Structure 1
Amino acid sequence: MVCIIWRHSLLFIVLASVLSFLPCAQSGDAEVLLSLKSAIDPLNRLRWEGNTVCQWHGVKGCINGRVTKLVLEFLNLTGTLDQKILNQLGQLRVLSFKENSISGPIPDMSGLVNLKSLYLNRNNFSGNFPASISSLHRLKIVVLAGNQISGSIPDSLTKLARLYVLYLQDNQLTGSIPPLNQTSLRFFNVSGNQLSGDIPATAALLRFNASSFSGNIDLCGVQVNNQCRSPTAGGPSSAPVYPAERKGSASRRSKLIKIIAGTLGGFVGLVVLLLLCICCKRKLSSKEEKSKGEVGSAEAAEAGEASGGGGGGNTGQKEGGGFSWEGEGLGSLVFLGGGDQQMSYSMEDLLKASAETLGRGTMGSTYKAVMESGYIVTVKRLKDARYPRLDEFRRQMDLLGRLRHPNVVPLRAYFQAKEERLLVYDYFPNGSLFTLIHGNMLITCFLFHIIIFIMSTLVG
């Protein structure tokens, strides 16, 4: 009997100890957050009250009363960050102060050993790049864009083996770009800084086009189509060098003229072919109108099947120049490239993207889509989402998606839903003469894709 009482007493003591511990842990993070609030929230926008920390505004995740996700965005927070306060939140996985007015240097964050995502973009941070970031080995996302950070980008960033996003654009960074070569790196942007030197030709950095490096006038490399000048020798140049350089320049000029002439000729030919296809399309459309009464019900059934159940002849075109729409049962993007393309963005990211109209044509409208992550793609929204039928449309998209050539804009993905069809291409901004010439080639090849699509539709 004594043993039973003793066991029950021991169990009661253990339970009481555990229950008393949990509020203390929760209270500990509460005190830290209130200290943080006093430093960056003079306007009292954060209504943090009560002992339930996990229900406070901006606290998006907790484990055993410890804050794991702190997201304080668009709150006009000011002041500076105190490293002693911040480093006490040792269980943080996600930290975001996006779109505020916090100033001063980014503090040492070496105490945030569990941090995976860091968003400090669009604030007033200054000072050198925070070297402590390189010690956070779990870090995957680093977004510091839109601040006043100066100094060089540390080479130690190459130690972040899981780095997935690195956005440092629109700062005052100088020096060279580190030789980043993480296979996990999918999003990268250092545009709008004062960087210089040769861009490392690593496998990771070769994935990104000129838009990721633009605005740094002293950068050179394959990615920006600008060769770096080789260092000159100490003595004077010898005379025979100049004739050789002139000969090479003439040869390059001749090739350039041939490229321009060939591109213009091909472009004119394709435009003529496109006009012929449009005429044929109109003739077929007039014939279809005559027989519409006979086959109208069958076409409606086919359209309902192709769009996933429902919908008449409406193209789904919306006013306002955007390409977002409303509907139920939206599917997902069908990627046509390698496996790494499927990790870059989703249909949800595309829906949230800001759209800029690039042009409108007989096939539909073309948009420049800038996603929240900063990734840019070109989206072609087809006018008629009924023809060809779904199976034939998939076959054509699969065929176009396999085309790969240095002068061909690759079709990365497509989307099929009720009264909607989207084609997603890489985005190529205008730039140097080299880019413009090859851009004409890319536009020509884009038209070639559309012509193939039209001809396949007419034949089908």
Structure 2
Amino acid sequence: MEVRPVSPRYDFYLFFLLIVCLPSSFLRASAAVELRTGDFDALLALKSSIDPHDSLPWRQEAVSELCGGWKGVKQCSPDGRVTKLVVEFLNLTGTLLQELLAPLDQLRVLSFKANSLSGAIPDLSPLVNLKSLFLSDNQFSGRIPVTIASLHRLKLIVLSHNLLSGPIPTSLAGLPRLHALLLQDNRLMGEIPPLDQPSLLYLNVSGNNLSGEIPATRSLSRFNRSSFLDNPNLCGDQIGAPCTQKLIFPPPTGSPKSSFDQVNAIPPRLLRTHKKSIRRIIGIVASSVAGAFFLSVCLTVALLLAYKRKRRRVIESRSVGHGSGGRSKPLEEGSSDGGGGGKGGFSWEAEDVGKLVFCGGAGEMYSLEELLRASAETLGRGTVGSTYKAVMESGFIVTVKRLKDASRPPAEEFRRRMEELGRVHHPNLVPFRAYFHAKDERLLVYDYFPNGSLFSLIHGSRPSGSGKPLHWTSCLKIAEDVAAGLLYLHQTNPPTVHADLKPSNVLLGPDFESCLTDYGLIPSLLPASHDDLSAPSPSSSSSSSSAAAAVFYRAPESRLPNPAFTPLSDVYSFGVLLLELLTGKTAMHDLVEEPGADIPRWVRTVRKREKNDFGEDPGPSEEKLTALLDIAVACVAVEAEKRPPTEEVLRMIREARAEVVASSNSSDHSPGRWSDTLQSLPREHGP
């Protein structure tokens, strides 16, 4: 067979194709690698700036896994650019800088929710493709950057639960696609901008210091009072608070005459009569003012006399109470130490009135006088004092804890410790806002959480020890929230030990997240008085079953005459809380006496029995709690050194939650236990 030689013409065509096609392919491949490497370097720089605890397992040698295995990188474009970055609940700290985020200009979704980031929100204008921004539950301060309005594709802005101040940028009214604006629980001031986007479906600016009239735009008129709560100086039809009184008799129409023309138009006789009337009116007004002044003096004298008589009775009653070995009267007038729910006002002796001090650099949100005039309702009584719901005349509500012992620690140490607690901020901690210190009185002021406590969620109105076990998804969510709050406390400088962790000290926040309260009080306020902290003897009588139960949440080393409070003693309390969460049994009953060494089998038996009693099928999903049960058993080890550290506990819980959520089907979710409003918002909409 004859083989024909290849024509030189074909050689030329082949050479031409190689010259033209290969460089272009090489350039495209190089561009893709360069783009990916740019995001890769930017993410590593971001990690080095805000991840001191190494919560993000991003590594230099893992560039090929950027869009397939990096934690938090949820989505990439076909050419390898990061489009969705979600790094939440990772205890990230530090400040976000523009130069760290600017290279990530293909981002559509950016979320740093529920970390500990601080400082100002950076200029995000380089992120021109951004559609969803989640920075809630951090410690961002300063003003909302006005350049945020340059991101015309932006639909979701969630900046709630931070320390932001200044006005809401009016330029936000120019975002054409704005779908949700959540700014609640900050320190924003000024007026609400005239937002009128038809796309605006979610709005919350409650818990700020906004003022003025709510604009009566079509969009803002759709939102009710709940979107604007706790802004005392706001007014408008949306909240039922008119800004100005309308004139009953409107002024006449037409161009009014000048005052000179009006005077000249009056006839002389009427003018003289008019002058006499003016003198008569002046005399009447002067006599009325003098009478009112005399009356006010009389009332003042009467009030002073009444106050002195009342103060004398209070002092006498207090001296009688102390002389008979009794405790001082509670803050509420007319209530006794034995019951709750009474209402009254705060009152104490006027000597050494003291000062209301706001913590953490916060400005004065209300005055001492307003707090003293507040009506008080008893919420409960605990180890360190009584807790009240205080409703001020303005409608502002706070929680006030009145300490049992106002003499220890010394005043200077008390102030120092309160300032330390005031600097503690985390999404899973109830904010501590202010403290009051006088000669015989110490008050602590916290945010008010109306959704109740974990104890009421578990036990409801049932008798103590007979609560219903929660669904496994709720158990995991609560466990993660509580562990995250504990870890933050243990990592503060100096470390803060809770020392009184129990379900009644875990409150449910606005989004039903679990938040710790009363943290750090026992080591700070009762350093020399541990009589009521050690385990009760069999012969001793307790004032209430809850006080006795509180002892069993404490680690063995914390029940000794000289108790030791450490992060590992908090881990023990957390383990007991987990067992109560899983079984619905209080610590004073079955948790201590019945299970013995075989806690896992006992927990499974209790959950199966309780669910059958409530007519529910335990089902195979109960096995998903095995990991959580193993964590609880490890935490309640008698020897402190055998308990896992707090960071290990949180890591195990998050791994367990991620594993069971990934393996569960849609029918296995909790039946409406939690109101996850923010989580249910769409993370990204169409273009």
Q: TM-score, normalised by structure 2?
A: 0.35
Matched, 1:132 2:147: yes
Which whole-Å CA distance do the structure 2 matches of 1:35 and 1:25 have between them? 16
For the structure 1 residues 69 and 144, does the alpha-carbon distance in structure 2 shift closer, same or farther, using more than 3 Å as the test?
Answer: same
Which residue matches 1:8?
A: 18
Q: 1:57 is matched with which residue?
A: 71
Which residue is 2:53 aligned to?
Answer: 43
Cα distance per residue 1:229-259 (max 9 Å; x no partner): 3599xxxx999xxxxxxxxxxxxxxxxxxxx
* Amino acid of the structure 2 residue aligned with 1:58: G
Aligned mates of 2:207, 2:234 — CA distance in 1: 11
Q: Could you tell me which of 163, 169, 182 is aligned with 1:154?
A: 169
The one-letter code sitting in structure 1 at the alignment partner of 2:76 is C
SS at match of 1:201: coil
Q: Is the deviation greater in 192-201 or in 113-122?
A: 192-201
- Bigger radius of gyration among the two: 2
Find 2:130's aligned residue among 108, 115, 120: 115
Is it true that 1:202 corresponds to 2:212 in the alignment?
no
Please give the per-residue CA displacement for 1:354-407, whole angstroms capped at 9, x wherever unaligned: 648xxxxxxxxxxxx5623589xxxxxxxxxxxxxxxxxxxxxxxxxxxxxxxx
Structure 1 residues 373 and 54: alpha-carbon distance in aligned structure 2, compared to 1, 3 A threshold = closer
CA distance in 2, matches of 1:152, 1:15: 52
Measured against aligned partners, the alpha-carbon deviations of 1:272-322 in whole angstroms (never above 9, x if no partner) come to: xxxxxxxxxxxxxxxxxxxxxxxxxxxxxxxxxxxxxxxxxxxxxx8999x
How many corresponding residue pairs? 258
**Given the alignment of the two structures, is residue 99 of structure 1 paired with residue 118 of structure 2, yes or no?**
no
372, 380, 383: which one aligns with 2:678: 372
Alignment partner of 2:101 out of 86, 110, 118 = 86
For residues 400-446 of structure 1, the C-alpha deviation after alignment (integer angstroms, 9 at most, x for no partner) is xxxxxxxxxxxxxxxxxxxxxxxxxxxxxxxxxxxxxxxxxxxxxxx
Q: Distance in 2 between matches of 1:144 and 1:353?
A: 28
Structure 1 residue 72, shift from structure 2 partner: 0.4
How far apart are residue 353 of structure 1 and its match? 8.9
- Paired letter, 2:52: P
Q: How does 1:252-331 map to 2 (within 5 A)?
A: none
Query: 1:4 and 1:220 mapped to 2: Cα distance?
Result: 79
Paired letter, 2:92:
L
Corresponding residue for 2:89? 74
Match of 1:164 in 2: 179
Q: 1:156 to 1:320 in 2, by over 3 A?
A: farther
Aligned to 1:26: 36
Q: 2:231 aligns with which of 212, 216, 221?
A: 216
Give the partner amino acid of 1:51: V
Task: Please tell me whether the aligned partners of residues 114 and 136 of structure 1 are also in contact (alpha carbons under 8 angstroms).
Answer: yes
Q: Deviations over 1:164-217 (max 9, x none)?
A: 000000000011111101000000000000111111111101111111100111
CA 137–106 in structure 1, closer or farther in 2 if over 3 Å, else same: same
Determine if contact 1:355/1:370 at 8 Å carries over to the other structure: no
Give the Cα separation in 2 of the matches to 1:90 and 1:352: 38
The alpha-carbon deviation at position 57 of structure 1 amounts to: 0.9
Q: What SS does the aligned partner of 2:188 have?
A: strand
Q: For 2:51, give the aligned amino acid.
A: D
Q: Could you tell me which runs of 5 or more consecutive residues in structure 2 were left unpaired when the two chains were aligned.
A: 1-10, 248-280, 285-610, 621-665, 682-687
Aligned to 1:362: none
- Name the SS for the 2:75 alignment partner: strand
User: Distance in 2 between the 1:42 and 1:14 partners?
Assistant: 43
Structure 1: gaps of 5 or more residues: 240-317, 328-347, 357-368, 376-460
Change (3 A) 1:320 1:123: farther
CA distance in 1 between partners of 2:670 and 2:179 (Å): 20
Please say if residues 354 and 371 of structure 1, whose CA atoms lie closer than 8 Å, have aligned partners that are also in contact.
no
Per-residue deviation at 1:21? 2.2
| Aligned equivalent of 2:661 | none
The residue type paired with residue 71 of structure 2 is: H
| Aligned residue type for 1:137 | H
- C-alpha distance in 1 between matches for 2:241 and 2:234: 8
Answer yes or no: is the 8 Å Cα contact 1:353–1:371 preserved in 2.
no
Q: Indicate conservation of the 8 Å contact 2:38/2:103, yes or no.
A: no
Task: Give per-residue Cα distances to partners, 1:138-171, cap 9 Å, x unaligned.
Answer: 0000000000000001111110010000000000
Matched, 1:178 2:193: yes
Taking a change above 3 Å as real, the CA distance of residues 374 and 171 of structure 1, as seen in their structure-2 partners, is farther
Distance 1:165 1:72 in 2: 20
Counterparts in 2 of 1:24 and 1:353: CA distance versus 1, 3 Å: farther
C-alpha deviation, 1:352, in angstroms: 7.3
Superposition deviation, residue 13 in structure 1: 2.4
The offset of 1:45, in angstroms, is: 1.0
| Alpha-carbon distance between aligned partners in 2 of 1:102 and 1:31, rounded to the nearest angstrom | 21
Q: 1:224 to 1:73 in 2, by over 3 A?
A: same
Q: How far off is 1:14 after superposition?
A: 2.1
SS in 2 for 1:162: coil
Note if contact 1:174-1:195 (Cα within 8 Å) is conserved in structure 2.
Answer: yes
Aligned CA RMSD, in angstroms, stands at 3.1
Residue in structure 1 matched with residue 383 of structure 2 by the alignment: none
How many Å separate the matches in 2 of 1:353 and 1:109? 39
Give the distance between the partners of 1:352 and 1:167, measured in 2 at CA. Answer: 26
What is the percent sequence identity of the aligned residues? 49
Deviations 1:50-94 (A, max 9, x none): 112212111111111111110000000000001112111110100
Using the alignment, how far apart are the partners of 1:184 and 1:24 within structure 2? 38
CA distance in 2, matches of 1:180, 1:187: 12
Asked whether the equivalents of residues 162 and 184 of structure 1 are also in contact (C-alpha less than 8 Å), the reply is yes
Q: Residues of 2 paired with 1:129 and 1:319: CA distance?
A: 53
> Letter of the aligned partner of 1:372 in structure 2?
L
Q: Which residue pairs with 1:304 in the alignment? A: none
Secondary structure at the counterpart of residue 180 of structure 1: coil
Distance 1:150 1:319 in 2: 52
TM-score by length of 1: 0.52
Cα distance in 2, alignment partners of residues 97 and 154 from structure 1: 21
Structure 2 counterpart of 1:29, one-letter code: D
User: Aligned letter for 2:678?
Assistant: E
Q: 1: CA distance between counterparts of 2:87 and 2:96?
A: 13
| CA shift for structure 1 position 131 | 1.0
